[in-house]
Amino acid sequence: TARAPPPGSGRGRRGPRILAAAHELYYRHGINITGVAELCEAAHVSKRTLYQQFASKDEVIAAYLAAVAGDAGYPPHVVLRRQDLAPRARLLELYPTLAAGRRPLRGCPFVNAALEVPDPAHPAHQVAAAYKREFADRLGALAREAGARGSERVGRRLALLYDGAAAQVTLFDDPEPATEAQALAAALLRDAID
């Protein structure tokens, strides 16, 4: 799993409320544009309470990403776990998750966070990078289950298609890149399996 924030971060009574507000604000509006005051207002807590739960805004950001990484209800996790679909179908159904939800489309929270927090040493960037490495590994494992040759490489390529589509879906507020990525993923899997 993605690296979690330091032990004790946000584990108090109000930590989950702060993280829920962070999820909504950071994902919908962006990390850098969302100030601590706005976060506190949305979570209905004081700044003092926030800083009792988290040492800094950076820690809130890392905890938010770790929470998404561990959320069984996060749409890509739901699709990749579906037992009613064959492995190849699960891989292909991953792409439409990028275009689901309300507008403007926001793509992938991990890609968005890495772009907003570019310092590789930042805890949030580390959580995002760890998640994306695990994501590619998970896609590679599913590709192997589907019978793909070179499944690790296929997994990395599927992840690259996903992340590229995530960026374009967000950039253009258009679901078409997700559809295009799904078609490219189908061709990639066809070449690797058939």
pLDDT one-digit tens code per residue, 22-69: 999 999 999 999 999 999 999 999 999 999 999 999 999 999 999 999
Asked if 3 contacts 127 with a C-beta cutoff of 8 angstroms, the reply is: yes
**pTM score, whole prediction:** 0.89
Asked if 131 contacts 70 with a C-beta cutoff of 8 angstroms, the reply is: no
- Give CA separation, 106 vs 17, 85, 170, in Å: 22, 26, 5
pLDDT of residue 102: 87
d(CA 30, CA 125): 14
Q: Report the alpha-carbon angle 5-11-15, nearest 5.
A: 95
d(CA 108, CA 76): 10
pLDDT one-digit tens code per residue, 127-167: 999 999 999 999 999 999 999 999 999 999 999 999 999 99
> Is residue 3's pLDDT more than 60?
no
pLDDT one-digit tens code per residue, 75-98: 999 999 999 999 999 999 999 999
